[in-house]
Amino acid sequence: MNEEIKNDLKLDKKKKKKRMLIGILIVTVLAAISYVLLENPQIFETKKDKSPTSMYSDKLYSYVFYPSDYSLDVTKDETYMGYDRLLHYKSGNVTIDVSEEDAADYNDAVAFFVEYFRTVIAGDADTYNTYFTDAYYESADPYGRFAPQMLYDMLIEQLSENTTDDGVTRWGFNVSYKIHRNDGSFRNDLPSDASKKLYFELVGDKSGFVQIDRITYYK
């Protein structure tokens, strides 16, 4: 066998070996990628478009929401109407069911929450946007709109109440509720029929005018 043929055979072997190494490298990389994706499924969770968004969160979540129905009549949903739609007010060890009719029997903050939840259920964003102080809007934007929301299991727990000499009262409340068939237009930070406890700080004047000054998540 002459020297030229030997050189050709050596070159062919080198090419085959190189192709084999490249193939092994590709398989190894693909296997590693597959392992990472399987162990970390959140990597390929799709982020939603920035509409709808939520006053309660500056994050976008990958929950699957129901279609928004801005003309929704919540009373037509038989499942929702069978849920507990009363407002439960907890103060100390006592929990009371508060209706719209007897809201005035409690403090101004409780009466405010009755109106607050009624407005959310109605999908009245314009009125809802008036429930917040200027200080609140320094770090949040008002809603353009949101669809009627099927809220239930509504619980407000009063944590504090302090009144200054000039008649200004501040309240601290834990607030939680669930949304049946959540469409994401009001809360895009939780899935349907789930809740996340929030801390509300309310401020009211002598006349009984109450607004929300702060809403924060519990860590």
Task: Give every strand in the sheet of 169-180, ordered side by side.
Answer: 94-98, 87-91, 150-163, 169-180, 198-204, 210-217
**DSSP secondary structure of 150-204:** EEEEEEEEEEEEEE-TTS-EEEEEEEEEEEET--SSS--SS-TT----EEEEEEE
**DSSP-assigned beta bridge partners for residue 6:** none
Average pLDDT over residues 78-105: 93
Provide CATH code, domain 74-217.
3.10.450
pLDDT tens, position by position, 151-205: 999 999 999 999 999 999 999 999 999 999 999 999 999 999 999 999 999 999 9
Domain boundaries, the chain: 3-44, 74-217
Average pLDDT over residues 205-211: 94
- In sequence order, which residues have a C-beta less than 8 Å from that of residue 100 and are 6 or more positions away? 114, 118
pLDDT tens, position by position, 18-64: 666 666 666 565 655 555 444 444 444 333 333 344 566 556 666 88
